Amino acid sequence: MIPVRGYEGHRVAVLGLGRSGLVAARALRAGGAEVVAWDDNPEARAAAEAEGFTPVDLSRDAAWEDVRTLILSPGIPALYPAPNPIVEKAWTHGAVVDNDIGLFFRSYATEDWGLMDRPPRVICVTGSNGKSTTTALIHHCLKAIGMPAQMAGNIGRGVLDLEPGVDGEVVVLELSSYQTEVARALAPDIAIFMNLTPDHLDRHGGMGGYFAAKRRLFAEGGPERAIIGVDEAEGRYLAAEMRQEAEGGDPVIRISSAQKLVGGWNVFARKGFLSEWRKGRQVASIDLREMAGLPGAHNHQNACAAYAALRSLGVAPKKIEVALASYPGLPHRCQLIGEKGGVRFVNDSKATNADAAEKALLAFPRVRWILGGRAKDGGIAALAPLFDRVAKAYLIGEAAESFGATLGTVPQETCGDMATAVSRAAAEAEPGEVVLLAPAAASFDQYSSFETRGDDFVAAVQRVLAAG
């Protein structure tokens, strides 16, 4: 745990006692703060009480006496679509609003770093798509290369649950827009912007607010190196904003999975090959095509981002290539489960909307597509240009009928549940095809989460693989 510094003897309120909130409360207490905590969920309050925290209803004015700061959990809105009433209370009573990310950046560096040969570095990854895989990929590569590393944030553990930094260590954080919009301190050594597509728009008051939340990591964080995906206008804008006139555009590294980039320092992937170019000449190339853990153009963009981060740390291209090749894939994100009779089985349960499912479909030329669940706005109509990749669709969940209608003449079968869909797809698949779970829908009609849905797919596939 990282004890929070700067609040010893002060009263600090924590709103939201889920994973990050409870960890923040512990870290504040470890740093000597007096913690008052609240969550509308009685079970969360009971869990906090079991650890010695006394829940205090922060909707009452009396609770704010001497409170210096409110620590906000990611799911609680600070401004849009409307400020949470307790955030309004904090403003009224003169308390500042922060979150665990802000506490991390004010507390992680300590006095003993001056005695280290290589003080710890922090890499932060944000964007709409691919940030979890990129975070996990960088962490995997660091470990494979032999560098001490920890991973946290929107993936795995809360940031304040990390161990204090050691000599030569690299911390890799996945940060959502919910986390970057509130943090009062942002100080990454390396910051990565993957891409921007419409998401969480109600929470941020539209695309402008959504982009502004992510831009804070760069504009206010002031990273030594900014790695920026430039396949959307927002990324091109941010790269131009961060670029310096001298040194050919450093400290920016532009990345792309859709185009060759010229000028400055660039890493891009085309036709399955990753290329690094500096000052107009190619300095390295890696063949990504046979890396089973990184299928498709979207994963090639993830590889470009990870490669650029590792190069920023001084790692040689050949070492990066070996580390990338050993990456097994992140669970539920184009995860290869196994192969039988020339048929691969891939779990992309995280593809909960059409945009994410599109990337999965583009990764494979011929699929037996398992899809369905609780439909989102627009359904799968946007995927029509990719229907020619579908050998057959196997429909599950609430959206089976509506998705079937959109698929039209595409061969299809309504299976209802996952076990039936996997069994039917496996029985009919031909060598060279992929049985792909990319639901393009939420999981909540049949499952508690996309992870639970993915686990069910994996279990069904394992039964197929274990059969004679």
What is the domain partition of the chain in residue ranges? Answer: 11-98, 104-325, 335-466
Tens digits of residue pLDDT in 287-319? 999 898 898 889 999 999 999 999 999 999 999
Tens digits of residue pLDDT in 31-78? 999 999 999 999 999 999 999 998 999 999 999 999 999 999 998 999
pLDDT at 29: 97
**Mean pLDDT confidence for 118-145:** 96
- The CB-based long-range contact list for 416-422 (8 Å cut-off, 24+ gap) reads 417/446, 418/370, 418/446, 418/453, 418/456, 418/457, 418/460, 419/456, 419/460, 420/396, 421/370, 421/394, 421/395, 421/396, 421/460, 422/345, 422/370, 422/457, 422/460, 422/461, 422/464
Residue with tokens 């779970």: 437
pLDDT at 421: 98
- Looking at per-residue confidence, does 100 or 292 come out higher? 100
* Count of Cβ atoms closer than 10 Å to residue 374 Cβ: 16
Tens digits of residue pLDDT in 427-454? 999 999 999 999 999 999 999 999 999 9
Q: In angstroms, rounded to a whole number, what is the distance separating the alpha carbons of residues 215 and 374?
A: 32
Q: For residue 5, what is the enclosing H or E element?
A: none
Helices (H) and strands (E) in the chain, counts: 15, 19
pLDDT at 278: 93
Task: Give binding residues for ATP as ranges.
Answer: 127-133
Question: What are the structure tokens assigned to 337, written together?
Answer: 């489960």
Binned at pLDDT 50, 70 and 90, residue 244 comes out as confident
Task: Give binding residues as ranges.
Answer: 127-133
CA dihedral 254, 260, 264, 265 (to 10 degrees): 50
Interacting residues of 18 by C-beta distance below 8 A, sequence separation 6+: 39, 44, 73, 75
Q: In angstroms, rounded to a whole number, what is the distance separating the alpha carbons of residues 357 and 338?
A: 20
Can you identify the CATH homologous superfamily of domain 335-466? Mur ligase, C-terminal domain (3.90.190.20)
pLDDT at 246: 57
Q: What is the mean pLDDT of the chain?
A: 95
Closest CA to 305 of 389, 384, 228: 228
Binned at pLDDT 50, 70 and 90, residue 184 comes out as very high
Query: Do 11-98 and 335-466 share a fold?
Result: no
Interacting residues of 41 by C-beta distance below 8 A, sequence separation 6+: 17
pTM over 0.85: yes
Question: Of all residues in the chain, what percent carry a pLDDT higher than 90?
Answer: 87
pLDDT at 129: 87
DSSP 251: T
Question: What are the structure tokens assigned to 115, written together?
Answer: 């005695």
| Fold held by 104-325 | UDP-N-acetylmuramoyl-L-alanine:D-glutamate ligase (3.40.1190)
Closest CA to 286 of 315, 264, 319: 319
Tens digits of residue pLDDT in 196-228? 988 778 889 999 999 999 999 999 999 999 999
Tens digits of residue pLDDT in 133-149? 999 999 999 999 999 99
**Mean pLDDT confidence for 92-107:** 97
With 80 as the cut, is the pLDDT of residue 112 above it? yes
Binned at pLDDT 50, 70 and 90, residue 235 comes out as very high
* Count of Cβ atoms closer than 10 Å to residue 240 Cβ: 13
Contact 20, 44 (CB under 8 A): no
Contact 138, 88 (CB under 8 A): no
pLDDT at 248: 52
| Domain 11-98, architecture per CATH | 3-Layer(aba) Sandwich (3.40)
Contact 113, 182 (CB under 8 A): no
Q: 225: buried, middle or exposed (CB in 10 Å: 19+, 13-18, 0-12)?
A: buried
